[in-house]
Amino acid sequence: MMNSTADRIRDVIASSDVVLFMKGVPAAPQCGFSAAVVQILSGLAVPFRGVDVLSDPQIREGIKVFSNWPTIPQLYVKGEFLGGADIVREMFQAGELAALLSDKGIATVST
């Protein structure tokens, strides 16, 4: 991965408290896994930035190297990589996602 791509990814992650690297955009996810994470975040009323990796091949491949995680979507909260769709779903179902967001000062419907 080129340094410029890593720098762009860092800038995106730093620009918002909650960032979702996904296929498509929040209003129109292009895969079921991205849609599932969007649905969870939207259900919690969490403001987040969606980054469409399909529109930028460098980001699409670069984010996998950056996080050392092979799949998309990828969720970042306050700069910290949380995981992909399965991890986010498990955290949500266990109540851990809302708790983590609250601990980080991000308001949700359940707080």
CA–CA separation, 95 and 111 (whole Å): 11
- 111 vs 109, more confident: 109
pLDDT tens-digit series, residues 19-54: 999 999 999 999 999 999 999 999 999 999 999 999
CA dihedral 67, 69, 75, 76 (to 10 degrees): -20
Whole-model pTM: value is 0.94
- Helical residues (DSSP H) of the chain, grouped into ranges: 3-15, 32-43, 57-67, 85-93, 96-103
Rounded to an integer, what distance in angstroms lies between the CA atom of residue 79 and that of residue 94?
22
Whether the predicted pLDDT of 111 surpasses 60 = no
User: What is the C-alpha to C-alpha distance for residues 70 and 75, in angstroms, rounded to an integer?
Assistant: 13
